[in-house]
């Protein structure tokens, strides 16, 4: 297995745009290739994370994007694993370079949903659940994550206020991120007073629907060395699934695919949890970040919800989590999310994150969930 590096990274702003998905992802890819100093013709293939482009009446994004980029001959693939589409696309680009099938690959992700009304957008998202048993019965993702939160509260005595601190912390970081969708600080009271979406989760416990795109250029060691110093090594990669529907799981306070994927990634990287300097974690709802900290093996069971409240996961805490603002504040353009997390890791590890920089960051972890954990991707990156 060959060493693989990220040698270029870029993203659009996250938010609401008139541009189509194809335009957004072309912008991100062109910027990433430019930053890497890689000619489009050198790219051996392109994986695009995307879930809903059909809502814009456009499938088969790859050839359109590759043609515009000036690399029509490169094979392309749209990968969909619901909200984990981005990390899945990254994983396969990594596998292709590590396995010697290509020296340079492009991994991107994109989503555009702001043209849809809230009900249609929520429906499209719910197609990522087991729609027959969950979505069609009215249990879309707010309901599913609310069920997990309720179960977690019951088991560990955590509170809505604990979760509110997670939202406050991520908005604190996102306010410093010029690419973030919701660049504003909020207070615990704002969260607690916000509209109930699915009790105990409120509007400010949830990430927004965002448009946006992100892209990464991956390269073999030889190519990376030739390109110069702006490179980050992919230390470990893990991908796993778990029982698809919540109703069939023995325990609703954990997502087993996170643990499996993380164990794979740490094993490949040959490093320990304590070696990680910052983490971008899938906080589609505040409860998801709490559970992820436990599933990733950072804190003991039952201690994830209070980590933000106690300052552990603050940018200047012992375990910085979501310095980008996370899905909660930076935004959640579904197919782009997993790629965007790695863009943040890349910039942090190269010391380019300005006022939200985590000092002396040498190892970063990214964690990306599809649906309620039916898909999970965890990656470790280092300089």
Write out the catalytic residue numbers.
83, 332
The interface mask with a second copy, positions 27-56, x = CB under 8 A, is ------------------x-----xx-x--
Residue 220 to residues 225, 253, 272, 279, 285, Cα–Cα distance (Å): 9, 39, 25, 24, 36
- Residue 122 in contact with a second copy, rule: CB under 8 A: no
φ, ψ for residue 329, nearest 5 deg: -115, -40
CB nearer to a second copy: give 135 or 143. Answer: 135
- Residue 64 in contact with a second copy, rule: CB under 8 A: yes
Q: How far is the CB of 4 from a second copy (least distance, A)?
A: 11
Q: Give the C-alpha separation, 179 to 17, whole Å.
A: 13
Q: Which range, of 168-176, 241-249, 306-314, 349-357, touches a second copy by CB under 8 A?
A: 241-249
CB nearer to a second copy: give 261 or 365. Answer: 261
Q: Which range, of 4-12, 137-145, 349-357, 366-374, touches a second copy by CB under 8 A?
A: 366-374
Q: Give the C-alpha separation, 297 to 171, whole Å.
A: 24
CB nearer to a second copy: give 254 or 278. Answer: 254
- Residue 75 in contact with a second copy, rule: CB under 8 A: yes
Q: Give the C-alpha separation, 182 to 207, whole Å.
A: 9
Q: How far is the CB of 82 from a second copy (least distance, A)?
A: 4
- Residue 243 in contact with a second copy, rule: CB under 8 A: yes
> In 243-356, which residue ranges form alpha helices assigned H by DSSP?
256-269, 286-295, 326-329, 334-349
231 three-state secondary structure: coil
Q: Is the CB of residue 377 less than 8 Å from the CB of residue 91?
A: yes
Residue 321 to residues 166, 292, 293, 311, 327, Cα–Cα distance (Å): 10, 11, 9, 10, 12
CB nearer to a second copy: give 89 or 182. Answer: 89
Q: Which of residues 132-161 bind a second copy (CB under 8 A)?
A: 132, 135-136
Please report which helix (H) or strand (E) contains residue 11, including its range.
strand 4-11
Binding site for a second copy (CB under 8 A): 1, 20, 45, 51-52, 54, 57-60, 62-64, 66-67, 72-82, 88, 92, 95-96, 98-101, 123-124, 126-132, 135-136, 239-245, 248, 256-257, 260-261, 370-371, 374-375, 377
């Amino acid at each position: 297995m060959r060493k693989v590096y990220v040698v270029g990274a870029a993203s659009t702003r996250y938010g609401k745009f008139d541009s189509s998905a194809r335009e957004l992802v072309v912008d991100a890819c062109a910027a990433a290739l430019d930053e890497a100093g890689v000619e489009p013709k050198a790219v051996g293939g392109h994986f695009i994370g995307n879930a809903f482009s059909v809502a814009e009446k456009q499938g088969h994004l790859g050839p359109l994007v590759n043609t515009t980029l000036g690399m029509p001959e490169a094979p392309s693939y749209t990968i969909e694993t619901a909200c984990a589409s981005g990390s899945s696309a990254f994983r396969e680009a990594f596998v292709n370079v590590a396995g010697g099938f290509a020296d340079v690959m492009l991994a991107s992700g994109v989503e555009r949903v702001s043209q849809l009304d809230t009900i249609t957008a929520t429906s499209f998202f719910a197609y990522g659940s087991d729609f027959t048993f969950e979505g069609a019965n009215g249990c879309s993702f707010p309901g599913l994550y609310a069920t997990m939160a309720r179960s977690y509260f019951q088991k560990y005595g955590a509170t809505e206020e604990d979760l509110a601190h997670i939202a406050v912390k991520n908005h604190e970081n996102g306010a410093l991120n010029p690419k973030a969708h919701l660049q504003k600080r909020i207070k615990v009271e704002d969260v607690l007073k916000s509209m109930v979406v699915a009790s105990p989760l409120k509007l400010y416990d949830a990430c927004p629907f965002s448009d946006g795109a992100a892209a990464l250029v991956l390269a073999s060691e030889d190519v990376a060395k030739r390109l110069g110093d702006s490179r980050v090594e992919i230390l470990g990669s893990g991908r796993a699934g778990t029982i698809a529907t919540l109703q069939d799981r023995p325990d609703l306070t954990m997502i087993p695919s996170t643990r499996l994927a993380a164990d794979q990634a740490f094993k490949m990287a040959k490093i320990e949890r304590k070696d990680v300097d910052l983490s971008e974690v899938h906080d589609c709802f505040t409860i998801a970040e709490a559970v992820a900290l436990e599933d990733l093996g950072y804190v003991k069971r039952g201690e994830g919800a209070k980590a933000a409240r106690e300052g552990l996961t603050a940018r200047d805490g012992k375990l910085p989590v979501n310095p980008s603002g996370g899905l909660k504040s930076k935004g959640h353009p579904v197919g782009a999310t997993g790629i965007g997390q790695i863009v943040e890791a890349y910039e942090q590890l190269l010391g380019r994150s300005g006022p939200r920089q985590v000092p002396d960051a040498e190892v970063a972890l990214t964690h990306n969930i599809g649906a309620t954990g039916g898909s999970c991707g965890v990656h470790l990156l280092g300089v």
